[in-house]
Amino acid sequence: MGMAPDTQTAPRPPAKAPAARATTAGEFVKSVGLRWDTAVGALLVAVFVVGLGTTDGFASGENLAFAFNDIAEIALIALPMTLLVVAGQVDLSVASMLGLGSALTGALWNAGWAFELIVPVVLLVGVAGGLLNGWLVTRVGLPSLAVTIGTLALYRGLASVALGSDAVTDFPQTYASWAVDTTTIPGTFVTYPIALFITLAVATAVLLHSTAFGRSLFAIGAQEEAAYFAGIRVKRFKLILFVVTGVFSAFAGIVFTLRYGSARADNGLGFEMLVIASVLLGGVDFDGGKGTLFGAVAGVLLIGVLKNLLTLNDVPNEVQVIVTGLLLVASVLTPRVIATVIERRHRRATGAAPES
């Protein structure tokens, strides 16, 4: 991933390429308007409009509150995941950390702890989990994919140890009603978890796109060694990202627990794929170095709205999975096909001069 040298598919021109080339290619892209994250945003709007026009009940505030709240945990985790993928890393252990957070919440609640104390403890466990992932990646030097496949199993196992096969259900109403889709910010269909998500999304967007830290992440994802020699503290930054992801995942575990009123060790099983699918769908490049937070958010919302709309129209689950799968393949394939086409045209135009 991040370690891999620049791939031939990247539209970013090699350092030695003449500047003129870059401008023509860039202008071409601009003239066609083919930016995948914009496309996903447009698709989201289109799906929304189709839903309004065709499906009874889709536009009701209740349904929208539910549809968005239903993806609250995935959306929350998608924020730090976007940063990780931009930096050329990935964390597959997020859903297991969600499960561990949920199981721990249940186990401690059963043990008579105060809910106000359980929350910080669970978040600390998220920090610890993130530190372990980050330490193995940055200090031991293992690839993040391999590390987090391991911790995916580890954290889920710990969740089972914490709570066994029990389900804890009697959470306090005051907190439970905070997370459910029937409690919204008065006058809107925005639930509290989604309001929190919006706030954090804005903060993350600013962080990624308008700060030195954000630019460093793109640099790390594009060319890790170059970033290192440019004076970016690669390992430190990666470690921070893993810790933040751990905390967000553990917190998502609390939200999940309150939303369903049920703490179980198998909560959120398989969610890591939904999170990563949403981020990729939003056009964040799995090779690192490219993508926007807007795209990732649009990806999450698209998956959520599409699922709601298809379910309202009684489309069977199998078909829904196929639709999501096709969208994903398209999201990975389309930008590359476009890049290849541009490059070919460009080569033809410049007389097929061999590279370098």
Partner 1 sequence: MIIRTAARRRAAATAATACALAVALTACSGTTKDSAEKDTTNAGTAAKADPNAPLKKGLKLAFLPKQINNPYEKIVDEAGIAAAEEYGATGKEVGPSDASASSQVSYINTLIQQRQDAILIAANDPNAVCGPLKQAMKKDIKVVAYDSDTAKDCRQLFINQASSEEIGRSLVQHLGEQIGYQGKIAILSATQNATNQNTWIEFMKDELKLPKYKNMQLVKVAYGDDADQKSFQQTQGLLQAYPDLKGIISPTTVGIAAAARYLGDSSYKGKVVLNGLGTPNQMRKYVKDGTVEQFSLWNPEELGYLGSYAAAALASGQITGAEGEKFKAGKLGEYTIGKDGEIILGEPTVFNKQNIDKFDF
Alpha-carbon gap, residue 152 to 314, rounded angstroms: 33
What per-residue string of b and e applies to 13-33 under the rule 16 or more CB within 10 Å gives b? beeeeeeeeeeebeebbeeee
Answer for which of 5, 33, 53, 173 binds partner 1 (CB under 8 A) is 173
Q: Please give the C-alpha separations between residue 307 and each of 59, 105, 124, 155, 256, in angstroms, as whole numbers.
A: 14, 29, 33, 28, 18
Residue 135 contacts partner 1 per CB under 8 A: no
Stretch that binds partner 1, among 214-222, 237-245, 255-263, 335-343 (CB under 8 A): 255-263
Window 66-85: contact mask with partner 1 (x via CB under 8 A): x---x---------------
Residue 178 contacts partner 1 per CB under 8 A: no
Closest CA to 180 of 51, 312, 62, 309: 62
Residue 52 contacts partner 1 per CB under 8 A: no
Alpha-carbon gap, residue 208 to 37, rounded angstroms: 15
Residue 314 contacts partner 1 per CB under 8 A: yes
Alpha-carbon gap, residue 265 to 111, rounded angstroms: 16
Residue 110 contacts partner 1 per CB under 8 A: yes
Stretch that binds partner 1, among 60-68, 138-146, 213-221, 347-355 (CB under 8 A): 60-68
Largest alpha-carbon pair distance within the chain? 75
Residues 153-172 that bind partner 1 (CB under 8 A): 167, 169-172
Residue 38 contacts partner 1 per CB under 8 A: no
- Helix 72-86 crosses helix 94-110 at what angle (to 10 degrees)? 130
Residue 54 contacts partner 1 per CB under 8 A: no
Answer for which of 6, 166, 266, 343 binds partner 1 (CB under 8 A) is 266
Q: Please give the C-alpha separations between residue 276 and each of 84, 297, 321, in angstroms, as whole numbers.
A: 11, 12, 15
Closest distance of CB 115 from partner 1, Å: 4
For partner 1, the binding residues (CB under 8 A) are 56-58, 60, 62-63, 66, 70, 109-110, 112-117, 120-121, 124, 167, 169-175, 180-182, 256, 260-262, 264, 266-270, 307-308, 311-312, 314, 316-318, 321
